[in-house]
Every structure is written in structure tokens, then in C-alpha cells.
A and B are shown apart, each in its own frame.
Chain A
């Protein structure tokens, strides 16, 4: 019989190994899924994980896409990971991403068509502030009224989506757009556009921001007292109180940082790849970032790797959709399975699996 024995402290080796094993298991399970869907599993897996980077036919287009997609994922996930470490669950990053983009669009549209170098920095600021403010709603409700931040932040995603629809069809609609929904094309407004920094790499300012955010978070967690407090509050909430950690301030800070990062990600996406405010502006980055944060073990460097990997599944998924007629939702299932396997395998880092052979009844057992 198998039995679990709690480890005194989580196993370091398994902590690093589980993400890798989880990815491998997901590939196997994904292969089975693709077989059921009537596709060649090896071809599909190769198309998702290998061809976007190395095939001659697709790599020229796909490789830059990697940074385009990984940028927002990493930026959002690294912000979320701080809160997750402290047991503060902001799962409404999707909403903060939308509101950040709306605020940035408001700035851009207010200045249009004036050209100035100040527009772009102001948009970044507006995006960050918008996301921060949207995250402050659940944070303040949590600290003042003890309302569950998971439910509030998630419900606010739906509110933000309706706000986005109202903006795209109403107050931000392009006055010269012949009545079609959607704002002006911000990517064509020189002062506000978020272009590639080096042509052909896919790296735009969002990628740079993600890189800075990773460094910032790494230093904060390793070297700053706030990072220590985050770790303490997550691992031993009672001890944290005795150590003088103010829980309310920690909630405000963690939610605020993750909201601001998500809002910025929305801004860079708006001014770059998405080009304008439209009804379907949000592509689920805020939710996928939750998977990225867990797959990266809530560790900034791990999150970079996880973000690149999930970006790859997005690109490979699109490729498989195009080449094999694989449904778009299959890749979502794939990402969901990845999180399942990861959570399931975590048992190995927290527990030791012991084999117990059934013994003959002795007086001790009776």
C-alpha cells in the first residue's frame, strides 16, 4: 500500500523537477487528446513545441511572436506571484489588464493627433494607474470589510469586460470609423505606438517592462524587507504578525503591484499588437498568467521560462489550428491539464511516498 508521509520541509529537488515532469506528462496526455480528436499526436506535439522555433517554413513568423506573447504573460505573472506567495489571491488580472488598456487609450485619444514624446510615458503611467486602481477595489474591500478578494477580483473581470464593450461601441468609438465598433488605431498614432525596438525580434516596450519587472521582483524578494514579509506571511501567518507584518498593508501592496503590472501589460498590448480598443481586446492573458506563475514556482526566473513556454503553446496552438485544423479550445485544455499535473505532482515535494506492505495482524495492529 502506498502511504504519504509529510516531509519536515519541502524537497528542493522535486520543487525544481515537478514543472519539467508536469510538462512531459501534459505532452503525453495532450497526445492522447489529439489522438482522440483524430489527429496524429506526434505531428501535433511537434507543431506546437518545435516548429514555431525551428521549422524553416514557420520560424520566420513565429519566433518574434514568442516575445510578443511572452511579454504580457511574464509581466502579469510576476506581479501575481508576489501576492500568491503571501496567500493573497488576485485572480482578476484579466480585468486589471482591460482597465489599464482603457486608461491608456483614454490618454492617447485625449492627445490625438498632437505629437509629443510625453504621450507614450503618460500612457504607461495611465495604464499602470488604471490596473492599480482596479486592483485596489478588492484590496480595500478585503482590508476594510474582510471581503473575499478572490471572488471580488474575479467578478470585477466581468464588469471590466462590459466596460470594454461600452468603450468599444460607445464612448471610445472611432468618430471616423463609419459606425463600426472599435477605437482609433493607436498603433498608427506615432506618439502613442508601441513598435518593435529591434525589427524582427518581436521585442517591444512591453518585453522590456517585463524584464524590468522580473528584476524588480527578484531583488525585492531576495533583498528587501518587503520580500521577507511576503514570504513570512505566506508560510507562517501567525509568526508574521509577531514579526510586525501589517496584514492590511501587505494586501494593499501585493494587490497594487500585481494590478499595476497587469494594467501596464494591457497598455503595451493596446499600443502594440492589439492596435485598438475592440470588444474582443482581451485574449485571456490574465488567466493564463496564473498558470505561468504556478509553473514558474512563483519564482521570477522560473516565471520567465514558464512564460516563454506558455507563449510557445499559444503560437504552436495557432499553427496547429491552421495546419491540422485542431480546434482553438484544444490548447486551452492543454494549458489546464498542465496546471492539473503541476498541482498533482506537488505532492512529491511536500510528502514522501512510502510503500507499506500489508502485514499479518499482530497484537500491535489490533
Chain B
């Protein structure tokens, strides 16, 4: 096959854009899972963020306000999940699925009058002459603010989880909630806050899809990005920097298959469009087949609900 028509610099620059939504959603979910909660509603929170961000940006004319609205909307729907699983002790798998089903319907309802509208443009940050540097300029200094925000969030989460007291409390709650409770940590409060953070990140990731990546609103536009983000957390063995590496890898695959579609190779479009999902599955298989690494990496209390006796 001839890859000659694909410019590597453009490829890297555009894979960063393609990866940002799943990167944001995955880093949020990583914090949630580190706290011992499995929220399968990422897809639902992303799409609610996508529509809320889109609607707010179109109404106010400001993409930044749209993104803030997406953060709030993502956190708001994740609050339903927090209420169900932390206060009412519902099954986490079922509640996450419910959140996704609800989010897909709810977003379609909200987005009805926004189909076919072009959102206000999200400008690239102005780095002056730096952006004109060959190769580096396009890759490092040629993006909009959210690409940098997503990198900053990854670094922040990494630092916070490893080097701050709050991060260690959160990890203790996720590893063994009974011990954490015995030590006097507020297990439920920590988990609810983690869920809200995950919702905010997923919402922002969704808004990046509808405001920058596509940019348009269509029903069901996340098309499994939330599920890929969930897989990414497993792929990354619950480590923030590996989430970044994994997200950029998937971004690369997505951009590559889109380029191949556009280049008109003989493979039908549908088979190329399958590739991100199939590669996600293959990666999951490789990562989960290593028993020792998996059991060491996953938070000890992941998916178990906590109820303090007495």
C-alpha cells in the first residue's frame, strides 16, 4: 500500500486533535476507577456534554462558554450515577448502562433544534512566530486551547494522585474501602467527588467532539468514543501517562483510517471504519491476558459498593 500521500507532520498534528476527546474522557474515568468506582456511563456523559456544549456555544457565540457548560452538564448527569451507586447502593454496571442509555436519548431530545447548525469557531492559540517553525510549529504550537488543557489535566492528575495527600486518600479508598473507612476517610464523599470529576472530563471531551473535531451536532455522534475511553483505562493499567500514550495511539489509528478512506483505497469505507473498534478489542486482549500485571494494576475495590455498617 502507498502511504506516500500522507504527510507525517499533518498526521501527528491531527491525531492530537482526534485523540483529545477520548483522552479527556479516559483521564476522568481513570480517577473514578482509582477511587474504586466503575462508571460505564462515559458514553452517556460525553454525549450530554457534546450537546450541552454545542447548544451553549451556539446560543452565546462563545466556544469557551460552551465548554464550561459541557463541564457542568457532564458533572450534572454523573451526579445521577453518584446518587444511584453511592447513596442508594445500586449495582454499578447496571447504573452505568442506564446512564448511557439515558444520555443518548436525552442528548437527542436536547439537540433536536441544533441539527445542521455550524458552531462558532474555536480559534487556535496564538503563539506568534513559534507556530511558523517547521515541523515543531505545527505539532506543538498549532492547536486550540483544549489540546493543551487535556495535556495539563493528564499531568495534573498524575501529580495529584502520586504526590498529594488528597490523591493518596483517593487511592486508598479505591484499593480497600474498608481500611480507608477504618482510617477515618470519607469513602462516599471521595467517591462522589471522583465521579463528578469524571463526569466533568467526559462532558468536556464530548464538547470537543461537537465544537472542534466534527464540528457539528448529530444524534449519537460520540459513536462509541466513551467505550473506547473505558478500554483505554484498562490498556493504560490505570496510569495517567499511559492513558496519554494510548489515546494518541488511537488518535493515530482514527486519523490514518480516515486518510485511507479519503485517499480512496480499494477497501470499502465500512471496513476501514471498523478498525478503531477492532484494534481496541485486540489491545484489550493483549493487556488483560497478562495475569500478574492486571491484578496488580487494577484498584482493589473496583466496582464494589461500600456500605458502612453501624
Contact = CB atoms under 8 A, between A and B. Distances in A.
A330 B277 CA distance: 29
Interface of A: 4, 6, 89, 91, 141, 144-148, 150-152, 154-159, 162-163, 165-166, 169-170, 287, 290-291, 294, 327-337, 339-340, 343-344, 346-347, 350-351
A151 B97 contact: no
10 closest cross-chain pairs (CB), A and B: A332-B105, A336-B102, A329-B108, A166-B270, A145-B289, A343-B90, A339-B98, A329-B109, A333-B105, A347-B88
Contact of B93 (A145, A150, A346): A150
A146 B294 contact: yes
A151 B309 CA distance: 33
A57 B234 CA distance: 54
Interface of B: 40, 80, 83-84, 88-91, 93-95, 97-98, 101-106, 108-109, 112, 219, 223-224, 227-228, 230-231, 234, 268, 270-271, 273-274, 277-278, 280-281, 284-285, 288-289, 291, 294, 307, 309
A145 B108 CA distance: 37
A54 B274 CA distance: 45
A163 B271 CA distance: 7
Contacts of B280: 151, 155
Contacts of A329: 105-106, 108-109, 112, 219
Main secondary structure of the interface of B (DSSP, over half): helix
Contacts of A151: 227, 230-231, 234, 280-281, 284
A166 B268 CA distance: 8
Contacts of A330: 105, 109
Given A158-B274, A329-B108, 12 more contacts: A146-B291, A148-B234, A148-B284, A151-B231, A155-B227, A156-B277, A158-B277, A159-B277, A291-B98, A332-B108, A339-B98, A347-B89
B109 A327 contact: yes
A91 B101 CA distance: 12
A343 B98 contact: yes
Contacts of B40: 150
A167 B281 CA distance: 22
A294 B91 CA distance: 11
B288 A166 contact: no
Contacts of B230: 151
Nearest to A329: B108
Contact of B104 (A152, A332, A347): A332
A226 to B, nearest CB: 23
A336 B101 contact: yes
Contacts of B106: 329, 332-333, 336
B267 to A, nearest CB: 10
A346 B90 contact: yes
Q: Which of B80, B230, B271, B277 counts the most A-chain CB atoms under 10 A from its CB?
A: B277
B223 A158 contact: yes
Given A146-B294, A147-B284, A151-B234, A159 B98 contact: no
A163 B309 contact: no
B97 A91 contact: yes
A25 B196 CA distance: 25
